[in-house]
Amino acid sequence: MKDRRPDRRPVTDAEPGRAGDARSGGDISQVIVSASADGIVAVDERGIIRLCNPAAADLFARSTRELIGTQFGFPIVAGESAEIDLMLPGGGRRVVEMRVTATILEGERLYVAALRDITRHTHAERELEAALDRQNIVVAIAAHELHNPLATISVLVDVLRDRVAALAEEQRADIVDRIAGRVARLQSLVRKLLIASTIDIGGVSGAAERVPVLEFMLEQLGELDGGSQDVHLSCSPDLVALVDRQEFSAMLGNYLENAFAYGRPPVEVSAVERAGWVEVRVRDHGAGVPEAFVPWLFERFSREPGVERETEGTGLGLWIVRSLARANGGDAWYEPDADGCFCLRLRRGDARSA
């Protein structure tokens, strides 16, 4: 009968697979380290890199040969984890999570750092935090800006309800006009908040159509509540812009609203062809924008400190103009001349196809 007990013969060189496994545990560890998707560096007590795998070399944007023997350059404590910024040789940086353990190799104490690139995660986290901050600001602005006109409307409605019989026709008409003005203010605020939300979620169309600029501007001015008589318009009849019509309306509307709120009449609106572009310029005769504030003029929620106490506003209007202009392939800016001029550049279309 054959002996079926397990073979208990010692491993010899005649069995290379098994003998290799027994002899080269260090080689296997080296293979595992080399194959790891995380960067691995072993650093001695002087902070010198003694070992690194290809993934670590990729993180540092250097070769393993370049890294070994150089200073690691970051504080390293066994049992600790931290986020570190790797500055890359060609510019730019990576945010890396580092986890550290200690080991003894051939009688020498080494610190082994596992490195993981979390740049995208960190960027997404910061974007989320920024979005939440913006949302909180929007809620605060909306609460403030909605409260004032609603309070005014409430008072005026109470007056009409309780004293309508005692009011002269002229007084009643005045109250109705004031209510209409507050309602228009609310509608403008809601439009801005909706457009800002659309921009935030990347929903801006930028769907170009050929828009005859003069005809379009006359339509926009015709919709103004009593302000169009204070506007001087200059535009070539054959000028055509390539732009989303609704977004063009929001751009021009915000510029005009800004001019009426902060400037003095008359408001001058012009559109010309310049170097293959349509350039729209809106100029009022106000005091202009203080030079120190100009760099922040088109930033979201930015309002000139002195003005924000005197005039209602969200600080969204000019940011909306620039965001929509750029989504349509153009741009928006301010020129600080004598009166100040707000400019808008749009792509030019072919008049014959308008």
162: which residues sit within 8 A by CB, 6+ positions away? none
Question: What is the tally of helices (H) and strands (E) in the chain?
Answer: 10, 12
How is residue 294 written in tokens?
Answer: 């100009």
Cα 110 from chain centroid (whole Å) = 44
Query: What is the separation, in whole angstroms, between the first and last Cα of the chain?
Result: 101
pLDDT at 352: 59
Same domain, 222 and 346: yes
- Residue where a domain terminates, one of 62, 96, 117: 117
Same domain, 253 and 346: yes
Same domain, 185 and 226: no
Same domain, 233 and 347: yes
Residue at 22 is within a domain: yes
Residue at 181 is within a domain: yes
pLDDT at 69: 92
* Domain ranges, residue 143: 122-200
Same domain, 219 and 348: yes
**Are 334 and 342 spatial neighbours (Cβ–Cβ below 8 Å)?**
yes
pLDDT at 243: 94
Residue at 10 is within a domain: no
Mean pLDDT by 10 residues, the chain (354 residues): 39 36 46 69 92 90 90 88 86 89 86 89 74 67 70 86 84 88 80 79 77 94 71 93 92 90 88 95 87 87 62 76 92 85 93 54
Same domain, 89 and 145: no
CATH of the domain at 107: 3.30.450.20
60: which residues sit within 8 A by CB, 6+ positions away? 39, 67, 86, 88
**Are 78 and 100 spatial neighbours (Cβ–Cβ below 8 Å)?**
yes
pLDDT at 22: 38
pLDDT at 146: 73
Strand 231-235 and strand 267-274: the pairing is: parallel
Same domain, 270 and 314: yes
Residue at 3 is within a domain: no
Same domain, 37 and 137: no
CATH of the domain at 340: 3.30.565.10
Same domain, 281 and 267: yes
Same domain, 339 and 229: yes
Number of structural domains found in the chain? 3
Residue at 6 is within a domain: no
Nearest to 322 by CA among 299, 296, 294: 299
pLDDT at 6: 39
- Residue where a domain terminates, one of 148, 174, 200: 200
DSSP code string of 286-301:
S----GGGGGGTTSTT
Same domain, 166 and 73: no
Same domain, 164 and 268: no
